[in-house]
Structure 1
Amino acid sequence: MAQFLDVAKYITEKMGKISAMKLQKLMYYSQAWHMTWDDEELFVEDFQAWANGPVIPELYQKHKGMFKVSSELFPDANANNLLDAERESVDEVLDYYGEKSAQWLSSLTHQEDPWVNARGDCEPGARCNTVITKASMHEYYTGL
């Protein structure tokens, strides 16, 4: 299993400099689709149902205050740590979602059950740290 920072480094090496929000959403879809295709987690960290979509709080702490991020933000990570199946999943996600804007990706997550259900009664734009369970992600994306 990959470490989340290794996946973030891999994505930013492939994509170049991207917005922090886009990185978070690409991480989310990489996790969701890898679990769907391989029945395994890509990394152990959980996403929370933040106002602008799914966020890994530990990744947020790395890029807090930054708009754009690049692979240099992850000097101790190693993209080569990803297994072939993990790399294939991320590559498929990047092929499909990589050209989409951060806002488009955020809006898409707002239409999908895992984020919507985790938000529950949280008001739009309000802080929410409810975990988006991996089970809800797996169930939803497997059903598509």
Structure 2
Amino acid sequence: MLRTQEAVDYLLWLSCNADDSISNLKLQKLLYYAQGYCLAKLDKPLFDAPIESWQHGPVVKEVYHTYKTYGNGSIPCPKFFRLKKYRVQEREIMDEVYSIYGQFSAWTLRDMTHEEPLWRETRDGEVIGTARLREYFMTKVKTRPVIVQAEAKGWDEIASEVLERRHKLWEKLAKV
């Protein structure tokens, strides 16, 4: 299991290498999806911090407080990053989550989590337990996300951008 900051650093690194920006809100949603996918696929948590239900969706409280000074602006890339410290399974989970959900804006991700039963059935400030996360994501990992709010782009354009990002990421990973 990773320390929470290690999961954060990897997601920030993916974002920076895809020439994308990531806000605290978007980071929170990516952490939520990464934790859920890991629990469903590997039957263990990806990182060690709890996820709480907040007004704008699932939040890792300690991460929120670490990056709240950035407001809705971009969080910078990690200064010291070592890809080799991550296990292949951990990287694959976060790569998959980023390739699926990283394309969406922070507010689209927020809207998506608001449509999910885990957030709707949990009171503000309540921890969403790992057992509930695993149970919910077991039904989700084999399907693509349901988009609540349509983006202005067409599906073919979005698919093209995702493939291009993935290609750029693999080129950069090959250099590491």
Are 1:48 and 1:130, in contact at CA under 8 Å, matched by a contact in 2? yes
Taking the aligned partners of 1:57 and 1:78, their CA distance within structure 2 comes to 25
Q: Secondary structure at the match of 1:71?
A: coil
- Pick the structure with greater CA Rg: 2
Match of 2:133, as an amino acid?
M
| Identity over aligned pairs, percent | 32
Q: Does 1:24 pair with 2:28?
A: yes
C-alpha distance after superposition, 1:22-50 (max 9, x if no partner): 01100110000011111111012111101
The aligned counterpart of 1:133 is: 129
Q: Secondary structure at the match of 1:18?
A: coil
The aligned counterpart of 1:70 is: 76
C-alpha distance after superposition, 1:93-116 (max 9, x if no partner): 011111111111111111111111
Paired residues for 1:1-144 under 5 Å: 1-16=1-16, 17-66=21-70, 67=72, 68-72=74-78, 75=79, 79-119=83-123, 128-144=124-140
The ranges of structure 1 where at least 4 consecutive aligned residues each deviate by more than 4 angstroms after the TM superposition are 75-79
Distance change (3 Å), C-alpha of 1:4 and 1:88: same
How many residues align? The count is 134
Taking the aligned partners of 2:114 and 2:103, their CA distance within structure 1 comes to 19
Deviates more, 1:86-95 or 1:12-21: 12-21
Instruction: Between the two structures, name the one with larger relative contact order (CA 8 Å, sep ≥ 6).
Output: 1
Taking the aligned partners of 2:32 and 2:81, their CA distance within structure 1 comes to 18
Q: Secondary structure at the match of 1:141?
A: helix
CA RMSD of aligned residues (A): 1.6
The aligned counterpart of 1:122 is: none
TM superposition score normalised by structure 2 = 0.71
Distance change (3 Å), C-alpha of 1:78 and 1:57: farther
Taking the aligned partners of 1:77 and 1:91, their CA distance within structure 2 comes to 16
Q: Secondary structure at the match of 2:122?
A: helix
Structure 2: gaps spanning 5 or more residues: 141-176
Distance change (3 Å), C-alpha of 1:50 and 1:111: same
Are 1:18 and 1:69, in contact at CA under 8 Å, matched by a contact in 2? yes
TM superposition score normalised by structure 1 = 0.86
Structure 1: gaps spanning 5 or more residues: 120-127
